[in-house]
Amino acid sequence: MKRKAFMSVLVLALVSMIFILSGCGTITSPSDTGYWFSKSENKYIPFDADKYNLDEAGSYWYFTAAKDVDTTMKVKINVDDHHSALYLYVNNEQVKSETDLGIFSRVYNLSLKKGDELKLHAFWVNGIAAENGSAFEIYMITMSEDGKDYVLTEFDKSTTR
């Protein structure tokens, strides 16, 4: 009888440990893209001079907000404001950059709700630049929470520049 009780307690303890340890694997930090976004993907559409697809050509990044949050999103990307541009859309509505930090940088004050769809679209503004262009690259995305800025490690190219 004691052996049966001991085995029951041991099995219960092991099952509890498995649940605890499996839950630990899903914890994310504010520097993880998964902390802010439940879904993240990107695509590149090259410019085709024959079709002159300037409106849809460029690089796209899609995100789905993972939680309700008021945040400041800072994006550093290789757009130059002369031959190329970057637009942010939240639920298909364009959001203007709050601060002009010069080329390569955009700052957006956002009030996101869980499930909001974000789209970053980097594109060329004329066909000549598009013919010589390649995919755009995000150098860094920073998100803020409680007065602290967090660089998303997936988009941190600061150590390679």
Q: Which residue has the tokens 């995100």?
A: 63
Name residue 112's beta-bridge partners.
69
Domains along the chain with CATH numbers: 33-160 (2.60.120)
Nearest to residue 128, comparing CAs of 82, 74, 94? 82
pLDDT tens-place values along the chain, 161 residues long: 677 766 666 666 666 666 555 555 555 799 999 999 999 999 999 999 899 999 899 999 999 999 999 999 999 998 887 888 899 999 999 998 886 666 788 999 999 999 999 999 999 988 877 887 788 999 999 999 999 999 998 888 775 44
Amino acid of residue 35: Y
String of b and e for 51-63 (b: at least 16 CB within 10 Å)? eeebeebbbbbbb
pTM here? 0.77
Q: What is the DSSP annotation of 59-91? A: EEEEEEE-S-EEEEEEEEES--SSSEEEEEEET
Three-state SS for 27-55 is CCCCCCHHHHEEEEEEEEECCCCCCCCCC
